[in-house]
Copies of this chain bind each other. A is one copy, B any other.
Amino acid sequence: MKLVAIGGSDAGISAALRARELDPSVDVTVVVADAYPNFSICGIPYYISGEVTHWRNLAHRTHADLEATGMRLRLDTWASSIDVTGQRLSVRNPDGSDDVIEYDELIVGTGAVPVRPAIEGLDALGPKDGVHLLHSMGDTFALTESLDRIQPKRALIVGAGYVGLEMAEGLTMRGIEVTQVEMLPEVLPTVEVELGALVHDELAKNGVDVHTNATVTRITKTDTGLHVEGNTTDGEGLAWDVDLVLIVVGVRPDTDLLVRAGAQTGPRGAVLVDETMATGLPHVWAAGDCVVTHHRLLGTTYLPLGTTAHKQGRVAGENALGRSVRYAGSLGTQVVKVFDLVAARTGLRDHEAVAAGFTPLSATASPDDHKAYYPGATPISIRITGDADTGRLLGAQLIGTRGAEISKRVDTYATALFHQMTVTGMTELDLSYTPPLGSPWDAVQMATQTWVKKHQLDAERATLNKDT
């Protein structure tokens, strides 16, 4: 049995590890486009910031660790085409020669590529000019090379999503003045505007010059650096002179290889797979950022996340060996640290819930992370979304200080969502309590109780009057 995985990031490696774990007799080859298998892409901002002291530390496992599992790695090897009928993968070797790898089962994890927005002048500019996209280890080395060479005083970041925010922090930590430009009305557009505003304040507090409702339209090279022009949604002109531009406005699935082999695509152009990670092409599985995401509340969507890629890769690895397991689905659980704030979400926001056919109601509470009498208590802003008809919990968004255990509190909601709990039902959960770390009703429950009080108390009272 010969299993070939394409991709050295989360999906490919996860599939290969699981296959080797389940059946140590399987011959596993992983084809990796660069020299950096199993690197933590999510860790790049912390290498740029200087908190990770060497780029090699970003590896989840070393090359030697991976080979010790019995898998074979072919680095700097480009997967060029799949012969589905012949079960053969054509690759280009590091030396430029072509090669063919035969397989019994193939798992494709080609991942995603960064989106290049339509900015005038962008096509002519690149790392040598101090203009960067950031996705791979190659991009990372190009950026650190620029940082060392240019020694920028001022940088402009296009985009204020997860990576944009982490990079604003990372560059600020390096002593660089950061301007951040976000097209949408608020930073961290994956959460409600009222919560994103708290992150906006945190950025401002740390000296980041944030422009929302603003688009970068043109970048030109000057004698001293880069001139960036843009405008607000009101049509007001904007201009900055900076030394470095970083463009982090999201990713799109890298589907070229699979589409040429005949795979179908779905939402956002990602390759369609079923919950077993089957592509529909015989003996070809796919997982990670190149494929659609099965979401437990939204159905088939596209939501590329490392956690999801790990799970999908694992499922693909099992099924390639003949098992029949299904990916249980994403809830879009995410968390980001921005300076001393942590923001997290799971499930749906109001507009997403409406689109999915629910009738969402929301409520925001600000319970303390632990009993106020014990030193250091801080409020957590928690927005709960539930369904008006069924009372079902649909989503939760949380923002609070680092140390307020935001990231694990969102996990309680994620686990509740997994089991389709009602908002009311959250009160039944037996959660932990000690005054330095929580409350008899945890903040998680105080927030759902606020929702119930706002949206269901009248109904509860009506039931009571009927009963008595």
Contact = CB atoms under 8 A, between A and B. Distances in A.
A461 interface: yes
A294 B435 CA distance: 24
Contacts of A329: 430
Nearest to A457: B21
Contacts of A457: 21-22
A434 B373 contact: no
Contacts of A407: 405, 432, 434, 437-438
Contacts of A323: 463-464, 467
A46 B436 contact: yes
A182 to B, nearest CB: 19
Interface residues of A, number: 82
Chain multiplicity (copies) = 2
A335 interface: yes
B42 A434 contact: yes
A216 to B, nearest CB: 26
A40 B435 contact: yes
A310 interface: yes
A10 interface: yes
Contacts of A328: 428
Q: Which of A46, A58, A432, A436 has the most CB of B within 10 A?
A: A432
Interface string A419-437: 1000000011111111111
Interface stretch (A260-268, A358-366, A382-390, A439-447): A439-447
Nearest to A335: B432
A23 B433 contact: no
A435 B335 contact: no
A439 to B, nearest CB: 9
A333 B431 contact: yes
Interface in A401-423: 402-403, 405, 407-412, 414-416, 418-419
Contacts of A460: 22
A306 interface: yes
Interface string A308-350: 1011001000000111100011111111110000101010000
Nearest to A334: B432
Nearest 10 Cβ contacts at the A-B interface: A408-B408, A328-B428, A335-B432, A415-B415, A57-B373, A322-B468, A407-B437, A331-B430, A419-B419, A405-B408
Interface of A: 1, 10, 21-23, 40, 42-43, 46, 51-52, 57-58, 60, 296, 305-308, 310-311, 314, 321-324, 328-337, 342, 344, 346, 371-375, 402-403, 405, 407-412, 414-416, 418-419, 427-438, 440-442, 444, 453, 457, 460-461, 463-464, 467-468
